Structure 1
Amino acid sequence: MPPHPPAQITVAYSRHLDGLIAFSHGEQWRWAHAALAEAGFTKRDAGSFHTPGDSVPVAMTKLLPIARRHRASLQVSGRPYLGDVADQIAAHRSH
């Protein structure tokens, strides 16, 4: 893959949603959207995709070859999902 592939998928684990959250980006982000949908991820209102926690290993195993077919790079974020961080901040402020 080139240094900046035209379609990219970033995956993070969300404790709050108990599953994977995936974001598509890049010049050809529609290719990444297609790969995520084909792999069984559900599109959320905010534009991200989700798969439940009980199917995380299966989802990742399925997503990798599909992403390659759609010419999308796949990376796993080592950082917590930002939505979980926001929930923690909101919970802390309400106490």
Structure 2
Amino acid sequence: MNKKRRLKIKNLEKRIEHFKTIYQIMNSNNQKYHLEKEWFDDVILLSKKDIENEINKLYLELFEVLKKEKEIKYEILAIVLSVIISIVTSIMVSYLLTNK
């Protein structure tokens, strides 16, 4: 996994934890709204539903990043396997041609 992707995953995980914590605090204090100023450019008033939506959005984004990483690994595996198959096929053809 490259550095940029690792950093993106780490940032997404931090944001998810942040919003989950805010949501838990709101639940425990029976708050309806939270004034958020850490993760956004502007100060914004968030409801519990807004925070739930943000958490879901972040999880989906994290899933997409991780899915891409897995797809890249499968693509590399497919390339390696095709090279191995080509080499084995060449060796078999050479062997069959020399033993006739």
**Same fold, judged at TM 0.5 (above):** no
Structure with greater proportional helix content:
2
- Using the size of structure 1 for normalisation, the TM-score is 0.27
- Using the size of structure 2 for normalisation, the TM-score is 0.26
Structure with greater proportional strand content:
1
Relative contact order: is structure 1 or structure 2 higher (C-alpha 8 Å, sep ≥ 6)?
Answer: 1
